[in-house]
Amino acid sequence: MAMKIRLARAGSKKRPFYRIVAADSRMPRDGRFIEKLGTYNPLLPKDSEDRVKMDLERIQHWLDKGAQTTDRVSRMLEAAGVVAKKERSNPNKGTPGKKAQERAEQKAAKAAEAADAGAEAEAEAGAGE
């Protein structure tokens, strides 16, 4: 049985509240789970102690048994210091889009023209003395 430690959504419409659960990976997101391991309330401020509550002992138990964590839960565990921080790399996310690249090229071209024009004006002023 492939175990996952993941979030199961609860709460009403536009008022999310999540349970951190150990569940079979084949079960639906809000469906059957084996054990409740904590809660996550994204509506609370980031510095609030009640935002994320986890039973770290039980989470470590499930990790030792081979349970995999989802990305969001692994980030919470990294913040708590339970698991080592993973290296995440998305090189395409930081690059600007096509239109932004075109604007940057146009701006660089205008700056180069202005610098050339300024250098020519200084040369002419220096020759006139």
Encoded tokens for 78: 């990294």
> What global pTM score does this model have?
0.66
- Cα distance between residue 54 and residue 17, in whole Å: 14
* Residue 54, beta-bridge partner list: 38
Whole-angstrom distance, CA of residue 13 vs CA of residue 19? 16
pLDDT by residue for the chain (129 residues), tens only, comes to 689 999 999 999 999 999 999 999 888 888 888 999 999 999 999 898 899 999 999 999 999 999 999 999 999 999 888 888 888 777 777 788 889 999 999 999 988 888 777 766 666 666 555
